[in-house]
Amino acid sequence: MQKVKLPRTVDAFQTAQRRLDYDGIIQSNILKRLAESTVDVKSDAEVTMSFKVDEQRLAVISGKANVTVLLECQRCNENFEHHLNVSFKCTPFLSEEKAALIPEEYELVDLNEMGEVDLVELVTDEFILALPQVAMHDIKDCQVKSNNLVFGEIPEEEEKPNPFDVLKSLKQQ
């Protein structure tokens, strides 16, 4: 199937009534907030989304997205590629009263001033939420190996285990 560019914004209610599905990409250069939260965005985002109206008459957007970003390892300061895979199920935020009745499985998504859902913002938010708290290589790929921990360049703020703590805990056993 030919992939198409996703629309930037959609009327969630009309789109849900028409039960539309999208399978497309968001170009990396418009994932600006993701680029600001990482070293770089290395690929376009692949996105699938489907729109439907549920039993409660809520417009529901469910989908999946993935993208490759460049992160800086907090252990060795080298950059590494990280694959983000997210899935989401959302419904537009309409009012506090209505939001109280919305099932917990749905995330709430804000509407823009046109009353539409900004799909780029939605997917960007999901990616940013999925970023690791502390970016680090898998230990096997990391430049900081256990055998050069003593001599290697370690950021000073990094907490090094104190060997005496290990002795202490051994004694306590």
List contacts with Zn ion (CB under 5 A).
73, 75-76, 137, 142
Smallest separation, CB 105 to Zn ion (Å): 36
Q: What is the Cα–Cα distance from 159 to 134, expressed in whole angstroms?
A: 13
- Pairing state between β 59-72 and 79-92: antiparallel
Residue 169 near residue 108 (C-beta atoms within 8 A): no
| Closer by beta carbon to Zn ion, 75 or else 82 | 75
Smallest separation, CB 67 to Zn ion (Å): 21
DSSP codes joined into one string, 60-84: EEEEEEEEEEEEE-TTT--EEEEEE
Smallest separation, CB 56 to Zn ion (Å): 47
Residue whose beta carbon is closest to Zn ion:
73
| Closer by beta carbon to Zn ion, 73 or else 120 | 73
| Closer by beta carbon to Zn ion, 97 or else 157 | 157
